[in-house]
Structure 1
Amino acid sequence: MITERPEDQPPAIEILRGNATEEELAALIAVVSSAYAEEEAGAVAVERRPSAWQRTQRPLRTPLRRDIPWGRFAG
C-alpha cells in the first residue's frame, strides 16, 4: 500500500460561493502559481552548523539485541 504524501499531490482549488467563469479561474491559477513560484525561488533553508558541544558528544549507543541469550539465563 503506497500512500501519497501531500507534497506529491497537485494543489486543489475549491470555489465555495458564486459562479466563477473559466477566465476568472485561469487568472486565479496564474496569479497563485506565479506567487508560489516566486516564494519558492526565494526560500532559503538556514543550515545550522553543529556547536562545539555537539561535535564533542559521542553518538548514541546501538540498541541491545534481545534475540541473543547471555549468561545463566540462556536456558
Structure 2
Amino acid sequence: MAPIQVLHGQPTPEELATVLAVVQARAAAAQAANEAAGRAGGPATPWRDHARRMRGVPAPGPSAWRTSGWAR
C-alpha cells in the first residue's frame, strides 16, 4: 500500500487509525473480489458478460406485437 499523508488538519491517533482501517478493509475486499472472479472464471468485465445480451420483455403498446420481432 502506498504511504498516506495528512495534508490538512490535525487528526488524533484514533481518527487516523479509523481511516487507515477503513482504507485497508476496502483494499482487501477489492482484492478478494478480483481473486474470486478470476477463480470462478466469470466475466472479468461487463463486456464479457453474456447476460447483458439477453432481450427484455417488449414494452406494452399498440404495436408491441409487431416490434417484438425486431432486432435489438
TM-score range, shorter chain: 0.3 to 0.5
- Higher Cα Rg, which structure: 1
Structure having the higher helix fraction is: 2
**TM-score with structure 1 length normalisation?**
0.45
